[in-house]
Chain A
Amino acid sequence: MEADSVALLLARIQFAFTVSFHFIFPSFSIGLASFLAVLEWRWLSTGQQRYLDLFKYWLKIFAIAFAMGVVSGIVMSYQFGTNWSVFSDKAGPVIGPLMAYEVLTAFFLEAGFLGVMLFGMNRVGKRLHFFATLMVAIGTFISAFWILSVNSWMQTPTGHVLGANGQFLPGPSWAAIIFNPSFPYRLVHTVLAAYLTTAFVVGAVGAWHLLKDRANEQARTMFSMAMWMAALVTPIQVIAGDQHGLNTYEHQPVKIMAMEGHYDSHSEGAPLYLFGWPNDREQRLDYAIGIPKLGSLLLEHDPNAPMAGLDTIPDDQQPPAAIIFWSFRIMVGIGTLMLVIGMWSLVARWRRKLFDWTALHMAALVMGPSGFVAVIAGWVTTEVGRQPYTVYGLLTTAESASPLAAPAVAASLTAFVLVYFTVFGIGTWYILKLMGKPPHFGESGAAEAEQAPIRSAGITPGPAQAEGVS
């Protein structure tokens, strides 16, 4: 048993590590693909060069991010089988078809049109090229649709029946499985998060170049577009997040108890804890600072409504509350800062200082990576919060794992850590180098298309050229 529990722990660390690393890329490329489609559409409809320059500028970055997303994504699709084989056997009949639909409707679409999007501008013409860009953007969204449906089913399973052999089998309606109770909320919240993540990255790159040269027209354009996203989408995301929270309260109340630090039940209205130091061992929130009754008011719409705490849940059915308490606060804190930036940008726009307000540019620059942190913190909240289950309330994580020896998992985990930090670290460095170069007129494309259509980049590579310029 001892060796088994080590193997289980290693498998959990490996999944958490590989999925966290993986999700960084789609959370960026979902938004970036849409941004690219908007840029190309603006270019086609206005004929303004700056949109084409920006399109090509971000296409180079997209190509690297997308490649990293693809190779880390294939790892995920096999890891269900390698490390969570019992889960795969039991849940395969329900979630397998959804993942197969993801491959059929999203992955092929993205991959099939990516080649044309990256290298085909001179071969297929503007309209068809725009169509390819649209297909890639739509593909990223369809992919999010299916995989979030799978994840949501694991959080709030509905529409299945239990088979005699222990498998989850599809019930009479696939719609009941796909559109399970938490899915619409999780989909909206995650896709908006991806848009915001991208907006803040684009905003930071725009801010960086504005700090160096306020007259750079492309930098102005991208900064303005990003700040519109921040100002308009962040408030919507706040509402979406609140609704997602209420949905979680209805279907996974234990997760909310952990997020809110409610170790104890409150018979006459629960406070909203702003701060505190969660102490899982003693099952209490130390140094708590809270607003009385506000927790009940927000979740139950009644300041005096009684709320149960973790003390009503058996120990072996509780998630590790401290992690969730913190990760939730990190996410909400970053969301609040994003809202501040968005509003600030509106003020700046109104006072016609959007491109001249250095403090705003500095703040936007600092906020560049914030979306990634918020997205990972959000996923930690929801995934750790549904422990100890993989299929909520029905199949525990411990029961889901493959019968693997600990040394095998230790070796693979080590390999993943080494390879991911090296390979994706280098990729991130290349992206940062591209972002560090100012966008300019006559920007080169992903394939370095100025002399020859396809990647003659091998002979006259894009970066080298740009270096020659700068």
Chain B
Amino acid sequence: MNIDLTTIWAFIIAFAVFMYVVMDGFDLGIGILFPSFKPGHERSQAMNAIAPVWDGNETWLVLGGGGLMAAFPLAYAIILPATYPLIIAMLLGLVFRGVAFEYRWRDPSHERFWDFAFFAGSLVAALSQGMILGALLQGVAVEGRAYAGGWLDWLSPYSLLTGAGVVVGYALLGSCYLAMKLTGEAEDHAYRLAVWAALATLFLMGAVSLVTPFLESQYWDRWFTMPSLLFVAQVPLLTAIAFFALLRSIRKRRRYRPFLIALALFALGMAGLGISMWPYVVPDSITIWDAAAPERSQTFMLAGVALIMPLILAYTGWSYWVFRGKVGTEGYH
């Protein structure tokens, strides 16, 4: 494989998707776990932990989608119609999740209703995202330059499995994030949740990994033929080590380590995904080169990414720095 512009763009899109998945992942995870926190103060604390940053986190989704349209327009034009109901469900879930941040404070008499909207919106968005992944991996029907399947093709036991996987994975990120940000009983609760979320993630990540190679011969070949086996086997190996370290760090109630290890787990999951799919963007039919926009489009955007992305990362980092530390009940200055 030679490093060309299209390859660079595949990595940029993968980076945007990864940033979205982990950053909005902990936001959505907090939403999914929201009902398990006590109404009122505990929930306010949990929401305060992300109120100043959720909007920036969600912007990565727009970059992932917009970037896909710009760099791989054909892939965008096939994947979105193929997963139509899931995309719509995700967008509507994000509507409820997003407005709940503001509405909850504005209308104390309906706080419980917006608590529920925050939870349900997060859950629907996470489940839809996981099912979109599953629908893509199990393959979509393509004819010419368009999606050629029905509007419920995405629904399968496998996509439900990946959907559940993403839900518990986000819950893991959310609980580890809250363990860093909360205090008192809520903090204890977050650590307890993290154990359960870690075990559930371990189970579902394992299940997805076991089933996936049977979906396409390419996946099987990537994972189970020599000599590539020797390289790719490092991924599950590192994942196993990471899970062990994760459970240990939660038990020892480390402050930052559980969240950092959870991030590493998602990075490993992403690497595994890349190993299976490369160089296809729509498995078995459209490669990144088939879908690529012309070089002029890619160069023009690459200049923008190279110049602006460091700035984005810098001021995003600054914003996290401004709101660093525990979300206290008092003395939070």
Interface, chain A (partner B; CB < 8 A)? 63-64, 67-68, 70-75, 77-78, 80-83, 85-86, 88-94, 96-97, 99-105, 107-116, 118-120, 122-124, 163, 165-167, 169-170, 174, 402-405, 407-408, 411-412, 415-416, 419, 423, 426-427, 430, 433-434, 447-448, 452-459, 461-464
Contact = CB atoms under 8 A, between A and B. Distances in A.
A408 B153 CA distance: 12
Nearest to B148: A403
B297 A93 contact: yes
B71 A78 contact: no
The 5 A-B residue pairs with the shortest CB-CB distance in the complex, in nearest-first order? A458-B44, A92-B73, A96-B70, A115-B52, A81-B80
A120 B305 contact: no
Interface string B61-97: 1110111111101101111110011011001101110
A266 B7 CA distance: 58
A463 B106 contact: yes
B300 A97 contact: yes
B221 interface: no
A419 B95 contact: yes
Interface of B: 40-41, 43-45, 47-48, 51-53, 55-56, 58-59, 61-63, 65-71, 73-74, 76-81, 84-85, 87-88, 91-92, 94-96, 98-99, 101-108, 145-148, 150-151, 293-294, 296-297, 300-301, 304-305, 308-309, 312, 315-316, 319, 322-323, 327, 329-330, 332-333
B71 A96 contact: yes
A97 B70 contact: yes
Contacts of A89: 73-74, 76-77, 145-146
A462 B48 CA distance: 15
A170 B322 CA distance: 41
Contacts of A405: 150-151
Contacts of A67: 55, 98-99, 101-102
A454 B332 contact: yes
Contacts of B74: 89, 92
A458 B47 contact: yes
Nearest to A102: B66
22 contacts: A70-B55, A74-B91, A75-B95, A81-B69, A81-B80, A85-B78, A88-B69, A92-B74, A96-B66, A97-B293, A104-B304, A112-B316, A119-B51, A404-B84, A412-B84, A415-B88, A427-B102, A454-B48, A455-B51, A456-B44, A458-B105, A464-B108
Given A119-B323, A430-B107, A74 B94 contact: yes
A240 B14 CA distance: 43
B106 to A, nearest CB: 5
B69 A423 contact: no
A419 B71 CA distance: 32
B35 to A, nearest CB: 16
Nearest to B331: A452
Contact of B67 (A100, A109, A448, A456): A100
A74 B61 contact: yes
A457 to B, nearest CB: 4
B105 A77 contact: no
Contacts of B79: 81
A112 B322 contact: no
A104 B309 contact: yes
B57 to A, nearest CB: 8
Given A403-B146, A452-B330, A81 B65 contact: yes
A466 B322 CA distance: 28
Contact of A119 (B52, B80, B301): B52
Which of B148, B297, B305 has its CB near the most chain A CB atoms (within 10 A)? B297
Nearest to A412: B88
Contact of B66 (A68, A103, A119, A433): A103
A306 B104 CA distance: 61
A71 B99 contact: yes
Contacts of A123: 322-323, 333
Given A123-B323, A461-B105, A407 B151 contact: yes
Nearest to B97: A71
B95 A72 contact: yes
Contact of B65 (A78, A163, A170, A404): A78
Contact of A107 (B62, B80, B92, B103): B62
Contacts of A165: 145
A408 B108 contact: no
A447 B323 CA distance: 13
Nearest to A67: B102
A91 B74 CA distance: 10
Given A89-B73, A99-B66, A403-B146, A423 B44 contact: no
Contacts of B319: 112-113, 115-116
